[in-house]
A and B are shown apart, each in its own frame.
Chain A
Amino acid sequence: GQQVMQIPQYQHVQEGEDFTTYCNSSTTLSNIQWYKQRPGGHPVFLIQLVKSGEVKKQKRLTFQFGEAKKNSSLHITATQTTDVGTYFCAGRYNFNKFYFGSGTKLNVKP
Chain B
Amino acid sequence: ETGVTQTPRHLVMGMTNKKSLKCEQHLGHNAMYWYKQSAKKPLELMFVYNFKEQTENNSVPSRFSPECPNSSHLFLHLHTLQPEDSALYLCASSGGSEPSVDTQYFGPGTRLTVL
Do A and B come from the same complex? yes
Listed in ascending order, the chain A residues whose CB lies under 8 Å from chain B are: 31, 33, 35, 41-45, 47-48, 86, 88, 90, 92, 96-100, 102-103
Q: Which of A41, A44, A96, A103 contacts B43 (CB 8 A)?
A: A103
B40 to chain A, nearest CB (A): 10
Give the A-B pair count, Cβ closer than 8 A.
54
Instruction: Known pairs A42-B90, A44-B2; list 20 more (Cβ under 8 Å).
Output: A31-B102, A33-B103, A35-B104, A42-B109, A43-B43, A43-B92, A43-B106, A48-B102, A86-B42, A88-B42, A90-B43, A90-B104, A96-B48, A96-B50, A96-B56, A96-B94, A99-B45, A100-B42, A100-B43, A103-B43
Verify A96–B106 contact, CB threshold 8 A: no
User: Within the assembled complex, what's the spacing in Å between the Cα atoms of A43 and B48?
Assistant: 17
A-B contact pairs, 11 of them (CB 8 A): A42-B106, A43-B43, A43-B90, A47-B99, A88-B42, A92-B102, A96-B55, A96-B56, A98-B45, A98-B102, A102-B41
Listed in ascending order, the chain B residues whose CB lies under 8 Å from chain A are: 2, 31, 41-43, 45, 48, 50, 55-56, 90, 92, 94, 99-100, 102-109
